[in-house]
Amino acid sequence: MTSAIADQPPTEPSVADYDRAHLKLYLRLLDADAERAPWEDVSRLLLDIDPTRDRERARLRYETHLARARWMSEQGYLDLLRGSLS
């Protein structure tokens, strides 16, 4: 079962349970960004929100999750490594 996607991911400076549950999503978001996929398509396909129905909410969900995915790839992964080593 896939965890529900919140409008905004956590913002705390440590990895949250939400992050752990959405690691695959974060990787897919980073891949889509690297491929320069249109945010509307990403929102619809990966974030389970239709930008034609709720554009503002979809854009916020996209931007905040992509930012969290970037944070995970730059800093958050260290928390995961520390946790797997203990």
pLDDT in tens, 29-51: 999 999 999 999 999 999 999 99
Measured CA to CA, the distance from residue 2 to residue 81 in angstroms comes to: 23
Integer Cα distance of 81 and 37 in angstroms: 30
Residue 35 to residue 22: CA distance in whole angstroms: 20
| Backbone torsions φ then ψ of 49, nearest 5 degrees | -145, 135
The residue to which tokens 């440590």 are assigned:
14
Global pTM exceeds 0.85: yes
Tokens standing for residue 62: 């996209």
Measured between alpha carbons, how far is 62 from 55 in angstroms, rounded to an integer? 10
Please identify every stretch of the chain with a pLDDT value under 50, giving residue numbers as ranges. Answer: 1
